[in-house]
Amino acid sequence: LYFLTILQTSYNNLTKGRDQLQTSYNNLTKERDQLQTSYNNLTKERDQLQTSYNNLTKGRDQLQTSYNNLTKERDQLQTNQLQTNYNNLTKEREHFYQVSSLKKSWQQSRDDCLQKGADLLIINSREEQVSCGISYMWIGLTDSETEGRWKWVDGTPLTISYWASGEPNGKKGENCGDIKSHDAENSWNDEGCSSSLFWICEKKVRL
């Protein structure tokens, strides 16, 4: 009887241990399944985020391309409009004008004009001033020789001017003149000569 009691007790303990192990196994299996579900959800969210990122990147690139194209078209339209204005002006004056389609420094712009037998634009009248159609465009004006003494490229001193309000204000750092805004009569600005802007060449001819 004693041995039967010991065996029964051992059996009961083993059964209880088995049940505890089964419960632990079931809990671990449940946790594993929950972790797998969480992993699957995170993987799905990651893929959705990647897709969204790819779409945003593609949209950004398309917007950048559109912006570049629009900027190019705008610059070309401005150049064409300016050329039209000066073609009309040329019909009434003994001058020919050529508008750049690129942007260069003041000296590079002048060199381009000189190579064509011309020079940067000298504005002698309100008629020439208001016919300009591009903002920030080099003209043949500089005070690089003597600070504050503005001269045209032909050496004549500045007498009639169309400076914008508060200009010139650059002192030694801005020694070349440009047209700051095409839609205002008083629109000149002093700019650093190394800046890249459009420009107009002017060539005097005898008719």
Dist CA 38 CA 31 (whole Å): 10
In this structure, the number of other CB atoms found within 10 A of the CB of residue 158 comes to 17
Is the pLDDT assigned to residue 10 strictly greater than 80?
Answer: no
In this structure, the number of other CB atoms found within 10 A of the CB of residue 152 comes to 20
Indicate the DSSP class of residue 172.
G
Dist CA 207 CA 204 (whole Å): 10
Q: What is the pLDDT of residue 87?
A: 61
φ/ψ region of 43 (left if φ > 0, alpha if ψ in -120 to 50, else beta) reads alpha
Is the pLDDT assigned to residue 206 strictly greater than 60?
Answer: no
pLDDT tens readout for residues 166-202: 999 877 789 999 998 767 788 899 999 999 999 989 8
Q: What is the pLDDT of residue 99?
A: 84
pLDDT tens readout for residues 115-161: 999 999 998 877 777 565 567 899 999 999 998 899 999 999 999 89
Q: What is the pLDDT of residue 92?
A: 47
**pLDDT over 70, % of the chain:** 87
pLDDT tens readout for residues 50-108: 999 999 999 999 999 999 988 888 888 777 766 666 565 555 456 788 888 899 999 99
**Residue 109 burial by Cβ neighbours in a 10 Å radius (0-12, 13-18, 19+):** buried
